[in-house]
Structure 1
Amino acid sequence: MAGGELENLVDASRSEVKRWGGESPGFLHLAVVLARRWPEEFHEVFGEHGLGPIEERLVNAGYLGDETGVRALLAGDSRDAILKKLAGLVADGPAPGADQVSAPLPVGLAAAVESGEPVAEGEQPASARDQILGLAERIDGEQIVGRDAEHREVAALLLAASTGPIVVAGRRGSGRTSFIRGLPPALAAAGIDCTVFAVPRTRELSPDDLHRLLRQAPRDAVIVIDDFDQRAMLRDQHPLLEMLRSLRIAGESAEARVVVVLEQASIGRFDSYAADFGHLVPLPSLDERAAKAAIDCAAAEVAQRYREVEADAELRSAIEAPPVRTEQFVHPGLAARRLDIALARAAVAGRAIATVLDLRRDGSAPALRRTVVEMSAAMKARVKGQDQAIDAVTRRLALTRANLDLRPERPNGVFLFIGPTGVGKTELAREIARAEYGGEDALIRLDMSEYAESWGVSRLTGPMPGYVGSDNPDDWLTTKVASRPRCVVLLDEIEKAHPVVWNTFLQVFDAGRLTDSRGVTADFRDAVIVMTSNIGVQEANSRPLGFGTASSPERSRELALAALKGTMPPELLNRIDEVAQFAALSPQAIAEIARAEVDSAIDMLAGRGWTVTVDDDVINWLATTGYDPEYGARHLQRNIERRLLADLVTFSERGVSSVRAGVRDGDVVITET
């Protein structure tokens, strides 16, 4: 044999010494190497299962020969001659001049040999009771809430005579590691006398380590390998197949049973392997009661790390909110992750109390409302007289919150608000920003009258490099959305934009993305798009011919939609989730809006040192004076400024800051109090 190939085989045999143990590479180490290097010739001489007995002797520290004998053997003329001579040496025992073969050790005592622990006759070594090869550690376990059915299933599979690993799969945060801690008491309750060993997540585990671990584990052991998908790189383009082979080979011949724990998303690369000889145990979402208990337990563990920082009641409620689309974790792990980040931010800021504002990097409050009813009620409390439009919006938003939309790559909602001016279209867009994303700062408003020319599209995605404005991307829509993908994009008066601008938004509505002139792609999947328009208002409010009175709501909607179809292209309308029609405000709605506006003005004045009391008849006067249904509620702010705030100037000049507003002789009168 050529010198280069001989040295290569000797080096490979030295590597097997690190894997199996021994003072120097011997004939058994060489046999393992040749089984890989010359598989066809090896099987012809040793048989299809000839490697098994050799590995068994190595597992039991039965070393044979030394490097000198290996070099002498490899000096033969052909592979066939070398393998036949090797087979004779392995079968006959020690070769002349070679080291004596060590007495075989019982399975499970090899760890004690490596560590040098004294072992009394008939006694299992301490390393076999508490750890195996320094790779797996014994876990005593604890009671885990909400996983009784899954623990019973694993116990049944361990009790069954069938071989192969048990594959436990769950989403991130579902409690996979906690599930492992719950195994020992679950097995004890089922009457299964097994010791559970787990490979810590922080400990590296090579395919060779896995092979040795499974072969040298005691026969009453259950070996749990956490994060197996990461160890075997199952989600990478090139997974570590050697890890799978080691698990399969050792799992078929070892006495110990194996439980593999991995992420649900990785099961696609593992399912065919598991289906061949394993058993899959999925971890579903916890029910509400179990999830609450698990979240409390996880939160308590996190809170122990931050003894000088506490979470207020609102934050504790917020961490239990359902995951949003951008969050890859589920509860209870998601709640622990949220609380950990919030407490850490408060600790860095030097605050003793962490609030809901610490959940977001930008300090905004997240959406905490969970149900359609709660979300709808919150919006109706601020937007008066538009219950039908609000219900249409909340139904669609609830669908995306529950991850039930058929096209998750699209925005969370694409809405077109149609109706007369001043009826709450823009206000409802603001309320969506508050309810979904925590505040009005999540609203990106574009006045589409500024995009009436075809070149206006450059203000959305930027002009081509070299043109004016190409080096100032801060004002581009793509930049704003890329920096804050969870937002509401308001396209006010969409009918005033150029058709080229309409076409730009087609891919946003359909694919949830928009690429600017720099090549940066803004992701709209977690955004809500709201368009407002006055199209169809005149047609919807027109009276029918004949002796009829005003149009019914159904007919008004039909007329408005017909006007929309005559103005906007069908490919744009076809990508809209909901067309919400806003009705003219009733006198009752106007009165409610007037009260809200006056209360807001009083709060604003209180912050500036004023004490203002407003009688109820002033509210009615402001709501009815100058009201025109065609112009909605915009007259209210003008009335408040002209008839309430303007008269305060005189009192301010006199140094008076406490006044009362009432109605006398059909007009608003302000007096000092």
Structure 2
Amino acid sequence: MARKIQTPSLSKYTINLTANARNNPDDYKVIGRDKEIAQVIFNLSRKTKNNPILLGEAGVGKTAIVDGLARLIALNQVGEKLKNKQIRVLQIATLGQQDVVRKMLNIIKECKQTKGRNILFIDEIHTIMGADTSNGAMDLGDVLKPAMARGEIQLIGATTFDEYDKFIEKDPALERRFQQIVVNEPSRDDAVKVLFGIRDNYEKFHHLVYTDEAVEACVDLSLRYIGDRQLPDKAIDLLDQAGSIAATKGQEIIDVKDIALVLQDMKGIPVTNILKNDNSRLKNLDKKLAKVVKGQAEAIKTVTDAVTIAKAGLQDPTKPISSFLFLGTTGVGKTALTLAMTEVIFDSTDNLIRIDMSEFSERESLDRFQDLLTVQVKRKPYCIILLDEIEKACTAVHDRLLQVLDAGILRDKRGRSTSFKNTIIIMTTNLGAELIVDNQIYEANTAEKFLNLTPNEIARKQDAFKKEVNMELTNIFRPEFVNRIEHKVIFNMLTRDIIKQIAYNNLATLSDRMAVHGFKLLYEDDLIDYLADIGTDVLNGARPLARCIEEEVSAPVAMYIMRLSDDPTNNIHTLKATVVGEKLGGQLQSHLKGSRKVKFTGIIDD
């Protein structure tokens, strides 16, 4: 009878995953990774280069694939070449800080003595690079390379793309010993299958029941609100955390609200917002936007129609929710409409990704732009992307965006794709501003003639104008880029009447901020008229008005609040704004304030 080979180093520094799987096979069951497990088996069964390395983002399930393989080996459900193999998990940290190379050499020696019966699994395998390099000693990568080259050991590695690029790829001799297996994040439907597959284990552990709706909510809500992590890990965390909380309370059933409460604690998002579905969010979308954005009824209608169609599932599912190019002069509400859309559709402006495209005017900035965009979209997959002043970006950036507009994805050099299918893309430009100004001034001056036109004649004039704008765009952008943008939205210039409406909104916002500090602002129409007189500028939109309100109202009010708040005997918490003085030059000279100014009077508390 052959003497049993002793493996003290393997016993001390590794965990026998196959033995664990044999004792508890249900704990090692893996859902939806049959393809990847099969690839690992094929690679391990090769004569040469039989060391697979699993590459994928943290949380996608790389370790689970090895768990699944260990279970198949334990249940004798693999071919002859892997029969009776033992998968040994080696955490580099367990080797400690002293004599790391010697310990690794002993592990390699024991693997060799057992004639390939043991397969090492090193998670975060990039940590072998640089280990024990003090005093000029070699790292573990140098130790493993000759053993792998001679076929003395077999190992499975796992790491992220970034760590692979940073450590493994820089050592070509080590890199060519591995066979790459890419582990992508599972789709929403696959992640749901994974959670249904493991639900029973968590129910037994927490002694409760998850409803089907709660399980699906773990996936759907983690997709919407946890953008910086991957499926299925982030969804499993919600499942487990909800179970842990419910178990401590003696709760026996977990539903969708319990999952939402976990997210509320995790992200600070109110449960009512989390549980709100898209139908309730989009109800009266046009009216909600019109409360914030004034004078842009046509733009609001275009945006509302496009988003409603998309949310009803009638848009192309391979593309972003919708794409827009906002055209118009400065200050007319392009950014304001974008912010309002984000607030209404996603409950918070935190879901807005805003990029100043003037920073990417050189071709060399292309990779930086792609990295910036994809990283942010991975963190916030449900979002609105605002590409400000798109015309200032280089043509290479425009060409890269064609991928996004056409296929709803953006691929990097490794072929990894970032999905944009839950995003709304808005680009702004000042191109064609002069054309828009001239056209709107012409229409204003010939308003009576337009009243006599038939609907068909008006439509022909509008089509002709849009063609002119399109020609202006193709002077800068490639035609294929312009044609990929679904909606070109032309914003109106702001007349004095619209400026008055905006002034009402801005003063209401100021009043709300004052109320937080215990103060109140009273004013009448004379203040609105005064602000409209000095703040109307058709070429610069609402920006002059914002400056006027700041100088004439906000700054003086702030001084009053600071002075009154410092007085412990203060009994004035209401300020009344009155316009005094005379206007010069009659009604048409709107920018001449004359001797007028805003006077503030404190009203003693009742």
Q: TM-score if structure 1 supplies the norm length?
A: 0.44
More helix by percentage: 2
Higher relative CO (Cα under 8 Å, sequence separation at least 6) belongs to 2
